[in-house]
Amino acid sequence: MTIPRIRYDSAIDDSAIISGHDLHYLKDILRLREGEDVFLIAPNGEFRGHIRAIGEHEIAINIVDKIIRKQSECRITLAQSLLKADKMEFVVQKLCELGISSLIPFISQRTISRPDKEKSLVKREKWEKISSEAARKSLRSEATVVKPVIGFEEMLLAPPATCVKAICWEEEESLTLKEFFATIAFPSASTIFFVIGPEGGFTKEEISIARGKGFSSVSLGKALLKAETAAIATAAIIAYLTGHLGDK
């Protein structure tokens, strides 16, 4: 069985105590027993622990090793125009599995899903839980950080000036994603910012605004991909090129 991984809120030294939801998960769902191992992801690193004792209200763990995993230094942000609930949740999960650093949900002119402020907060909480669970299951040391929902033009101001940034547009005819990668020192980039549109795509006006903010508009090819497919495909390509698929 794959060794389970859980997040631990405090710094770890030579032991740890598990309680609450994680206790239920390890004890009642996975049915772990004394003597079995778990991975703990703490603020001061990732550790392999050995279950010393399982009680009614807590599990005592002895730390046996600190795990060193190779991590890509490149930070990748993907901005995604809000999709319908199930599609957005799927994108969040897959972006975390691929090692994307952060996700910025935004509302553009053709965005269908337009939750109010209160519903946006509820959705964000759910996305954060999905990201955290995806990180645990895919052996990622960090979950994808889900930012608050913002407007299109505010999103364009999010990346730093030195960031490699592009916006995917199905009507782009001059620059493909492959050509864009070839024109820059992409593998050595420290920060990358990609923007994916809604189900109906971006308007020409939005692309013009993005270009004015220093974004390159790129085509993903002749096939017209669904928004969620475009997000995952682009993230996978960037993750491969920057080494995020080899950090385990």
- Which of 23, 46, 67 is the last residue in one of the domains? 67
Q: Which domain holds residue 127?
A: 75-246
The string of pLDDT tens digits covering residues 74-94 is 788 999 999 987 999 999 999
Is residue 118 over pLDDT 60? yes
Residue 187: pLDDT over 60: no
E strand map for 55-170:
59-67, 75-81, 102-107, 145-146, 150-151, 164-168
Rounded mean pLDDT, 100-118: 91
- Would you state the pLDDT for residue 247? 46
Q: Count the neighbouring beta carbons within 10 Å of the beta carbon of residue 117.
A: 8
Together in a domain, 132 and 203 = yes
Most confident of 89-93, 112-116, 225-229: 89-93
Shared domain for 53 and 133, answered yes or no, is no
pLDDT higher than threshold 50 for residue 57: yes
Q: Domain containing 91 — which CATH number?
A: 3.40.1280.10
Q: Answer yes or no: do 46 and 103 share one domain.
A: no
The percent helix, strand, coil of the chain (3-state, each to 5) is 35, 25, 40
- Are residues 129 and 92 located together in one domain of the fold? yes
Taking the whole predicted model, whether its pTM rises above 0.85 is answered as no
Are residues 86 and 192 located together in one domain of the fold?
yes
